[in-house]
Structure 1
Amino acid sequence: MSGPVPPAGTTTLLVIAKEPVPGRVKTRLSPPFSPGEAAELAAAALEDTLRTVLTLPARRRVLVLEGRPGPWTPHGFDVLPQSAGPLDERIAAAFGTCTGPALLIGMDTPQITPALLAPALSPGGWDGCDAWFGPAEDGGFWALGLAAPDPGLVRGVPMSLPDTGELQRARLTDAGLTVRNLPPLRDVDTAKDAVRVAAAAPDGRFAAALSRLGRAVVR
């Protein structure tokens, strides 16, 4: 059965994600969660993210996936395999598939809403703007948008460091780009993060999965 027609826009939306397989995703959630529970939380986070992206105006919606699609993959997305290599190479390759403005997000911020991304996706979102940057509270970034996707703007930026976001933003500004910021968000990395993110989006599938698991975590 087909669902509502997703709204059209001018920006390609990229979601970079891993198939939620136990032992391969959200490993920092174990303990207190088992690998299977961590994968269940990852699947819920990914499903929330994809469903929100379906409500956003886009030229094209692409799931850049490590692994295989599953029942959590909604209609309305093209699915492309991630490239090989470290994360900067995989993000760079994802942008390399795009022509025209593109905005990339991950699967670790299921609390995203249309309002959070509205500044970048509004009709004038790219007027006088070369890049959009969404900083993460852990020092990384949760969103990166490029008016003219250039893999070289990402390739070689060290990932998963406390200053990754700072380094990535500096790469943009050093290239002479005009950068606008999206609000900072918390990634789901640890159990403590999971509790806070679920509290920020209590009606989502991620919050429901965390509640269903019923495991005491550090608050």
Structure 2
Amino acid sequence: MSDLTVLVLAKAPVPGRAKTRLARVTGDEVAADLAAAALLDTITAVAATPGARGHLALTGDLRAATRGPALRAALADWRVTPQRGRTFAERLVAAHADAGPGPVAQVGMDTPQLTPDLLLDAVDGLSSYDACLGPADDGGWWVLARRDPKVAGPLAGVEMSTPATYDDSRAALTAAGHRVCATTVLRDVDTVDDAAEVARLAPGTHFAAAYRAWEATR
């Protein structure tokens, strides 16, 4: 799809601020490195998606981030805008408004196993539906595809990062009159167990290499 925008909502992977659940086990520096590796993998997947352009909605400062130079180089051709809003849900809706009309697939930085096929599968649903949500196996969701940025509006009132976030998001969208389809279930990286499984599933990623390097030191 030649006019596809992939919108990535991300936090700059700064030690002490990134992947705090992972950091309880790995320490701040390793957690930030894993987060940076996951973001690099996401950027790589977008770059490999035919016809796609990248838009990063960022909170934090990449100049203070782990792997900051590599991230800034990878984002050279991207549009980068600051996140706006008090809650994550509000920032998500604002990012969709900033991305504008047209086909958009919005993801985060917790799925380094992302591939172009996964992105395109989500967008394919827009031929018959107003939105496509990809469930995460922890009860959240990893992708929202839509054409009209107003589709994301009902999500402003949804509590994110709960075991019911996918169900609540889908209910909010359908209550607003939007037709919603589902796409592939993926595993988010929040814990060390998540990290181990995702590294196993996607062994050629920056994330898997970073995880193996940490695991070798345990």
TM superposition score normalised by structure 1: 0.89
What displacement does 1:172 show? 1.4
**CA deviation vs aligned residue, 1:137-192 (integer Å, no higher than 9, x gap):** 11011001122111422111111111011000111112222212110111100001
| Structure 2 equivalent of residue 12 of structure 1 | 5
- The unaligned stretches of length 5 or more in structure 1 are 1-7
Matched residues in 1 for 2:7 and 2:117: separation? 18
| Structure 2 equivalent of residue 25 of structure 1 | 18
| Structure 2 equivalent of residue 188 of structure 1 | 189
Matched residues in 1 for 2:217 and 2:186: separation? 23
Say whether residues 1:62 and 2:55 are aligned partners. yes
Aligned length: 208
The code of the aligned residue for 1:129 comes to: Y
| Structure 1 equivalent of residue 109 of structure 2 | 107
Matched residues in 2 for 1:120 and 1:101: separation? 10
Distance verdict in 2 for CA 1:205–1:129, change over 3 Å: same
Say whether residues 1:129 and 2:132 are aligned partners. no
Distance verdict in 2 for CA 1:216–1:174, change over 3 Å: farther
Distance verdict in 2 for CA 1:30–1:120, change over 3 Å: closer
Find the partner of 2:33 among 33, 36, 40: 40
The code of the aligned residue for 2:107 comes to: I
Matched residues in 2 for 1:59 and 1:41: separation? 25
Moved over 3 A (4+): 57-60
Say whether residues 1:211 and 2:204 are aligned partners. no
Contact 2:132 / 2:144 at 8 angstroms: preserved in 1? Answer: yes
**CA deviation vs aligned residue, 1:7-47 (integer Å, no higher than 9, x gap):** x6222210000111011010101232010110000000000
- The unaligned stretches of length 5 or more in structure 2 are 63-67
Contact 2:46 / 2:53 at 8 angstroms: preserved in 1? Answer: no
Describe the SS at the equivalent of 2:126: coil
Distance verdict in 2 for CA 1:65–1:110, change over 3 Å: same
| Structure 2 equivalent of residue 146 of structure 1 | 146
Matched residues in 2 for 1:12 and 1:113: separation? 15
| Structure 2 equivalent of residue 5 of structure 1 | none
The code of the aligned residue for 2:122 comes to: A
The farther-off stretch of 92-101 and 8-17 is 8-17
TM superposition score normalised by structure 2: 0.89
Matched residues in 2 for 1:149 and 1:57: separation? 22
Identity level (%): 45
| Structure 1 equivalent of residue 174 of structure 2 | 173
